[in-house]
Amino acid sequence: MPHYCTLIPGDGIGPEVAQAAVRAVDATGIDICWRRAELNEAIILEAGKTLPKYLLDSLNETRVGLKGPVTTPVAGGFQSVNVQLRKTLDLFANVRPVKSLPGIKTRFADLTIDMVIFRENTEDLYSGLEQEVVKDVVTGLKVITRAASERIARYAFQYAAKNGRKQVAAIHKANIMKLADGLFLRCCREVSEQFTHIKYKELIVDNASMQLVVRPETFDVLLLPNLYGDIISDLAAGLVGGLGIVPGANMGENHAVFEAVHGSAPDIAGQNKANPTAMMLSAVMMLAHFGEADASYRLQAAIESVYREGKHVTGDVGGAATTEEFTDAVVRNLKS
């Protein structure tokens, strides 16, 4: 039986990296039925809404999506495509593995960085509850609930247990936001008591930021509320080479959307220069979600092999290869 996936190429470099990922997934030999659903800035402006009905219908049918970068129009009060997707489909867990790739020159090239970030995806300051109390005085509500905090904590600990991870670190600012972050922290502690074989620790977010830069190799699983998770996940991506090589997944009870978290880079769109690694590694996560562990492993290994050889990597990581040349190299590794 084939697996079904809604493919959302996006705009800018999105269609190029999406096509590269499709080629790589197809080369694993796994039967994927791709259902292409176009979404870009022009479509959003024409439809007058962020998520057209046909897109949601497709995602509700396939339950799985692979998404490229989509530009949200600046004018017109449109909500972020990603935020709207997460709220509409209740994609409560944002999951970002951050792992060193061979051959990429960073200041941490002599270290092995291998962490997974779990960010609560539905509340906190991203609830969008803002108001102008009086002229030039604005308030925003930070919403933290027990239900959402327990759910993301349990998801992170279950992942750690299933994948042999040794430690979960809850990141917070409960020393200042004693009620909101205090509740998040209490939920993490309570869930941790159900997983006594996994080491649990807590770090204040500013200290965690410093520790990530000073000794990133000491982190394993990170568990964060929405805002801190957004910031820390991009910081962590910078440790291994940038957003162009880091995958992402938005997981819910009934849906999963895997995405490259980088922007649409319109300045290089259509020039065959884009790095499709983040999109391909997101597809690695998608294959694992489908239960295709062998194909997931083989695609990950093929990507790492191309980086190890260093002959067909793109300009953003120090090479000179085109998008197509990088993809060809990954496909060759898979078929060999």
pLDDT tens, residue by residue, 164-196: 999 999 999 999 999 999 999 999 999 999 999
The answer to whether position 248 is within a domain reads: yes
Cβ of 53: how many Cβ atoms within 10 Å? 9
Tell me: do 51 and 109 sit in the same domain. no
pLDDT at 1: 85
Q: Which CATH number does the domain housing residue 256 bear? A: 3.40.718.10
Identify the domain boundary among 240, 258, 283.
Answer: 240
For residue 113, being part of any structural domain is answered with: yes
Domain for residue 21, yes or no?
yes
What mean pLDDT comes out for the span 101-109?
Answer: 89
Q: What is the pLDDT of residues 235-293, one digit of tens each?
A: 999 999 999 999 999 999 999 999 998 999 999 999 999 999 999 999 999 999 999 99
Mean pLDDT of 103-130: 91
Question: Does residue 253 lie in a domain region?
Answer: yes
One domain, residues 222 and 280: no
What pLDDT was estimated at residue 282?
A: 98
Q: How far is it, in rounded angstroms, from Cα 192 to Cα 74?
A: 41
* pLDDT of amino acid 80: 84
Same domain, 118 and 227: yes
> How far apart are the C-alpha atoms of 219 and 205, rounded to whole Å?
14
Q: How many CA atoms lie within 13 A of 111 on its CB side?
A: 19
Tell whether 296 and 218 lie within a shared domain: no
Query: Is residue 223 located within the same domain as residue 235?
Result: yes
- Cβ atoms of 206 and 224 within 8 Å: the answer is no
Residue range(s) defining the domain that contains residue 145: 105-240
Residue 100 lies in a domain: no
Q: How many domains does the structure of the chain reveal?
A: 2
Q: Is pLDDT larger for residue 39 or for residue 80?
A: 39
Regarding whether 265 and 172 lie in a shared domain, the answer is no
Which of 212, 240, 268 represents a domain boundary (last residue)? 240
Helix H segments across the chain? 14-27, 41-47, 53-62, 81-88, 146-162, 180-192, 205-214, 226-240, 277-289, 293-309, 323-335
- DSSP-derived letter for residue 72 is P
HSE (side-chain half, CA atoms, 13 Å) at 292: 21
Higher pLDDT, 76 or 315: 315
Q: Does residue 159 lie in a domain region?
A: yes
Q: Which residues are catalytic?
A: 126, 173, 206, 230
Listed residues 240, 274, 289: the one ending a domain:
240
Q: Please compute Rg for the chain using Cα positions.
A: 20
What long-range pairs does 21-26 form, CB within 8 A, spacing at least 24?
21/66, 21/276, 21/279, 21/280, 21/282, 21/283, 23/327, 23/331, 24/276, 24/280, 24/283, 24/299, 24/302, 24/303, 24/327, 24/330, 24/331, 24/334, 25/283, 25/286, 25/287, 25/295, 25/299
Do 282 and 301 lie in a common domain? yes
* Least confident segment among 99-108, 155-164, 231-240: 99-108
Beta pairing partners, 115: 98
pTM attached to this predicted model: 0.95
Looking at the structure, tell me whether residues 148 and 195 fall in a common domain: yes
Same domain, 117 and 230: yes
In a domain, 42, yes or no: yes
Binned at pLDDT 50, 70 and 90, residue 75 comes out as: low
- Same structural domain, 173 and 121: yes
In degrees and rounded to multiples of 5, residue 321 shows phi and psi of -80, 155
Please tell me whether residues 235 and 245 are part of one structural domain. no
Between CA 15 and CA 63, with CA 11 as vertex, the angle to 5 degrees is: 75
Could you tell me if 207 and 292 lie in one domain? no
| Residue 99, in any domain of the structure | no
Mean pLDDT, range 297-318, rounded to an integer: 96
